[in-house]
A and B are shown apart, each in its own frame.
Chain A
Amino acid sequence: MINLEIPKKYKPLATQANQVATEVFRPISRKYDEAEHSYPKELDMLASLIDGMNEGSDLGGAGATGVRRSANGSDPGENRNGSNLSTVLGVIELCWGDVGLLLSMPRQGLGNSAIASVATDEQLERYGGKWAAMAITEPEAGSDSAAIRTTAELDGDEYVLNGEKIFVTSGDRADLIVVWATLDRSKGRAAIKSFIVERDNPGLKLDRLEHKLGIRASDTANFTLQDCRVPREALLGDPEVKEKGFAGVMETFDNTRPLVAAMAVGVTRAALEETRRRLASAGVEIDYDAPALSQPAAAARFLEMEADYEAAWLLTLQAAWMADNSKPNSLQASMAKAKAGRTCVDVTLGCVELCGAVGLGETELLEKWSRDAKILDIFEGTQQIQLLIVARQLLGKTSSELR
């Protein structure tokens, strides 16, 4: 039966996450926006708490539980609400608090998500409980992740990694970096594998930390890998070079795109709620019964933005729900990411505009949210990449036909 509300069983989780966002994130939000590159130590205790949340139940924390679709699922016809949905709901609430701080949460990195999703039991054993960042992008390979140049050569029982990685979220603070590298550049995407590199590996050299427009609480590192040796067991997943291998790596993104969409949804809601309060104090109330266009222009604009928010929220929940129910969701995950990413940018900037000087000023968080927003329409696949994925699926095109 169609019901597009937050499920009853996850309401406590959402409330709890919202309390964390309110009590922990919001009070230090501005502090770490200003103190870029300093570690938000307040997060340590919280991270332990979230580890506890991840342990016992499917109440996933900030998204690092990854997605392991169990083979022995329940009745296929039966509607399921599981960890994908609960994680998305938690992420929305936490990012309503502060998206930069969520990205800085120990042991909640994208690398953790990848490890949790594709690691063998031995790898899980070995790397569990550690904080893992993800290193994909290179100076010459952004959206085109099949073009990466970092190489991995087998030498005895070790792989030797060489190359340059940029834009590694939490790269400085994490214990592990999941590095994408090619086993053979002539074999294209089939040869691309991911490797777990310990942060203190002497072959992994931190070049610098980026200064950014937003999410300044989160560190963004650039690395050089120089004869960086890792054990053979550090290769995540299947070591064979075959075409499906890359698809497997890319499938990780089907699971992480709804999470980034959820981040965008959370930031969007924060801006809308604040703006609604500000408009009310300026004498503009939003009326859902009157037609938008017979209300003040500010109210009409707000309704327009809230409508986009509603669509983004629902598309995001739908993508997560599909994953919970083992329905292929690549299309819906990209739709959610595209819609939520652009909505977040448009709405947060619109809210700044509506609130004027209050919106621009650093005494409030509206301007910060509009700076944080932009990355959400870029990382984990830019708006344009999502549109490409959606278009290829809708039109039945290959990546060589629609480039």
Chain B
Amino acid sequence: MSTTITDADRGVAERAMGIGLRGLNWLAGSDLLDRIRIRKGLERALFQGTKSGFRTATVAGRTFKAAQSLGKPARQSRSQSKGLFDVTPDDEQAMFQEAGRAFAAEKIRPAAKAADDERATPPEILAQAAEIGVAMLGVPAELGGVVEEGAATTAALIGEALAHGDMGIAYAALAPGAVATAIGLWGSAEQEATYLPAFIGEDAPAAALAILEPRPLFDPLKLATTARREGGDWVLEGAKSLIARAGECELFLVAADAEDVGPALFIVESKTKGLTIEDEPAMGLRPAATGRLILEGARVPASAILGESRRADYVECVGRARIAWASLSVGTAQAVLDYVIPYVNDRHAFGEPISNRQGVAFTVSDIGIESGGMRLATYRAAARADRGAEFAREAALARRLCAQKGMKIGSDGVQLLGGHGFVKEHPVERWYRDLRSAGVMEGALLV
């Protein structure tokens, strides 16, 4: 614990303790705040956390009602770079990154094996993640969001940090935020007023950005799920795959090929008729309790189509999701590197540490080199998104690297441990399964 506590720290800590929020208590009481400067972002996160402590949550099928109507939709502010090349996060980003890392190390990693076995993330971990503000990273500051600017980069840094703990848990924790981010980026003022307030604070609903479909060579721009016009409504048909906590979701953003529009996102509340959830266990991301959403004649009002349903918005959404999955791959790849280094140094064969052999050592080098490239490519794409620059190319390349090099790293992680890597005593086999999953996912998360 710290010996020097600043006034800012004390203020935060006292407020946190005063309302008895354990997660905040943890955050405020850890050494974390002594190492990093408190800035507006955290203050606001805590303020929002405090506010939501008084709200009564209706867990299943809450009613989303427009709280206020702004004239025009609020948007994230674009980041104002000085135009210099820089690999360091700004103070606010560093703070979220540190919080994410500490949370991942102290809470997520220890819970990962059981969560993988049981295909469930403990509710207290989801609650603590919410207290860091993961569900509202993409909510515009005007509407109570905690991130001033650079939200995509911040989300990528948090995704990386949490996935270092466990990718499946990170997916479970971050998935609802994708819906809030999408509505905050592309939703109408009415949609923002209706849905975003629920995501402010720690009581965010389970929600999912459902794009992926269960078929080979899936292309998010060529959807099999359809939306046809019928009497002023939209009627949706299709199936969406590998949705985190599908059974708990209160809100879906469903990608469908809309009549006369093309690919677009639809806001579908869980109480809508014609929705069924099927369990869909997969080789990876098991703590997210993945399920499939089946839409059969699911009728939603004309107003359910997200924002102005521009194709460019949808394409941007697909790209941002790829950056998010790339960031998770980076975190898990780093976990592999951090795990194999002490292992190959300690493990002896032929009378010396196996890391004294180039065949082993060079594999470690390659993990370091490729994960470094993956990380920079991911950051570049996210930072471009924050500035409002084109990022389709950068997102595609980050995804390629993460699908390919990320999987190689997952495979090498198991290989370096040999038979020990193949058994569940070590986490590398889990990371092998998760890194394959990350390269396949579309949608579901956003930066």
List residues of chain A with CB under 8 Å of any chain B CB: 1-9, 79-81, 85, 288-294, 303-304, 306-308, 310-312, 314-315, 317-318, 321-322, 331-332, 335, 338-339, 384, 386-388, 390-392, 394-397, 401-403
Give 4 nearest A-B pairs by CB, closest first: A311-B373, A314-B376, A307-B400, A391-B361
Q: A79 to B85, alpha carbons, bound, how many Å?
A: 8
B398: chain A residues at CB < 8 Å are 307, 310
Would you give the shortest CB distance from B212 to chain A, in whole angstroms? 11
Q: Which residues of A contact B394 (CB under 8 A)?
A: 310
Across the interface, which residues of B come within 8 angstroms of A79, CB to CB? 82, 84, 86, 88
A303 & B397 in contact (Cβ 8 Å cutoff): yes
Which residues of the other chain, B, contact A307 by a CB distance below 8 angstroms?
A: 377, 397-398, 400-401, 404
Contact with A along B216-252 (1 / 0, CB 8 A): 0111110000000000000000000000000000000
Number of A-B contacts defined by CB within 8 Å: 182
**B376 cross-chain contacts in A, Cβ below 8 A:** 4, 311, 314-315, 318
Contact in complex: A288, B396 (CB < 8 Å)? yes
A397: which B residues are within 8 A, CB to CB?
Answer: 355-356, 361
**CB–CB A395/B84 < 8 A:** no
Contacts of B380 in A (CB 8 A): 4-5, 310, 314
Q: Which of A2, A306, A339 contacts B383 (CB under 8 A)?
A: A2
- Give me 19 A-to-B residue pairs in the complex whose CB atoms sit less than 8 angstroms apart, sorted by A's number: A1-B86, A2-B86, A2-B89, A4-B87, A4-B380, A289-B392, A289-B396, A304-B400, A306-B397, A310-B401, A311-B373, A315-B372, A322-B87, A387-B358, A391-B358, A391-B361, A395-B341, A402-B356, A403-B356
Task: From the candidates B83, B220, B341, B364, name the one contacting A3 in the complex (CB within 8 A).
Answer: B83
A3 touches B86 (CB 8 A): yes
B392 contacts across to A, CB distance below 8 A: 288-289
Asked, given contacts A303-B397, A315-B372, whether A8 binds B83 with beta carbons under 8 Å apart, the answer is yes
Give chain B residues whose Cβ lies under 8 Å from the Cβ of A322. 87
A395/B344 contact (C-beta < 8 A), A303-B400, A335-B369 known: yes
Q: Which residue of B is nearest A304, CB measured?
A: B400
Q: A7-B84, A402-B355 are in contact. Are A289 and B318 (CB under 8 A)?
A: yes
Whether the pair A315, B83 counts as a contact (CB closer than 8 A) is no
CA distance A148 to B179 in the complex (A): 63
Q: Shortest Cβ distance from A337 into chain B, in angstroms?
A: 10
Contacts A288-B392, A335-B369, A391-B365; A311 near B79 (Cβ below 8 A): no
Contact (Cβ within 8 A) B373 A394: no
Q: CA of A304 to CA of B396 in the docked complex: distance in angstroms?
A: 10
Task: Give the residues in chain A near B374, CB-CB below 8 Å.
Answer: 311
Task: State the CA gap A79–B219 with chains docked (Å).
Answer: 41
Q: Smallest CB–CB gap between A143 and chain B, Å?
A: 13
Residue numbers in A under 8 Å from B69 (CB-CB)? none
Q: How far is B384's CA from A308's CA once the two chains are assembled, in angstroms?
A: 19
B141-186 contacts to A (CB < 8 Å):
150, 153
Given A288-B392, A310-B401, 18 more pairs with CB closer than 8 A: A1-B90, A2-B150, A2-B379, A3-B86, A4-B379, A7-B83, A288-B396, A289-B319, A289-B392, A291-B217, A292-B396, A293-B217, A311-B372, A314-B380, A338-B365, A387-B358, A387-B361, A391-B358
Chain A residue contacts of B190, Cβ below 8 A = none
- Measured between beta carbons, the chain B residues less than 8 angstroms from A304 are 400, 404
Q: Does B370 have its Cβ within 8 Å of any Cβ on chain A?
A: yes
Residues of B within 8 A of A317 (CB): 85
Pairwise interchain contact B373-A390, C-beta atoms closer than 8 A: no
Q: Report chain B residues within 8 Å CB of A335.
A: 368-369, 372
Beyond A2-B93, A79-B86, A315-B373, whether A394 also contacts B368 by CB under 8 A is yes
Assess the B82–A339 pair: CB atoms within 8 A. Answer: no
Q: Which chain B residues (370-393) contact chain A, with CB distance < 8 Å? A: 370, 372-374, 376-377, 379-380, 382-384, 387, 392-393
How close is A287's CB to chain B, nearest CB, in angstroms? Answer: 8
Q: Are B369 and A81 in contact (CB under 8 A)?
A: no
B345 contacts partner chain A, Cβ-Cβ < 8 Å = yes
A285 to B376, CA, bound (A): 26
List the A side residues contacting B83 at CB < 8 Å: 3, 5, 7-9
**Given that A3-B86, A303-B397 are contacting pairs, would A314 and B377 also be in contact in the complex, using a CB cutoff of 8 Å?**
yes
A288 cross-chain contacts in B, Cβ below 8 A: 392-393, 395-396
Shortest distance from the beta carbon of B142 to any chain A beta carbon, whole Å: 21
* In the complex with contacts A303-B397, A397-B361, A310-B355 CB distance below 8 A: no
Q: Are B219 and A294 in contact, with the CB atoms below 8 A?
A: yes
B400 contacts across to A, CB distance below 8 A: 292, 303-304, 306-307
Q: What separation, in Å, do the CA atoms of A397 and B376 have in the docked complex?
A: 26
Given contacts A7-B85, A402-B356, whether A390 and B369 have CB atoms under 8 Å apart is: yes
- Which residues of the other chain, B, contact A402 by a CB distance below 8 angstroms? 355-356, 358, 361
CB-CB nearest in chain A for B315: A289
CA distance A290 to B220 in the complex (A): 8
Residues of B within 8 A of A8 (CB): 83-84
Q: Which of B90, B219, B365, B373 contacts A312 (CB 8 A)?
A: B373
Which residue of A has the minimal Cβ distance to B394?
A310
Residue pair B89, A1 in contact (C-beta under 8 Å): yes
Contact of B280 with A by CB under 8 A: no
- Flag whether B34 is at the interface (Cβ < 8 A): no
Closest residue of B by beta carbon distance from A320: B85
Instruction: Please report the C-alpha to C-alpha distance between residue A1 and residue B89 in the assembled complex, in whole angstroms.
Output: 5
Give complex CA distance A335, B376 in Å.
Answer: 13
Could you tell me the distance in whole angstroms from the C-beta of B218 to the nearest C-beta in chain A? 7
Among residues of B, the one whose C-beta sits closest to the C-beta of A383 is B362
- Give the complex CA separation of A314 and B376 in angstroms: 6
What CA separation (Å) do A390 and B358 show in the bound complex? 11
Indicate if the CB atoms of A294 and B373 lie closer than 8 Å.
no
Let me know if A321 and B87 touch, CB within 8 A.
yes
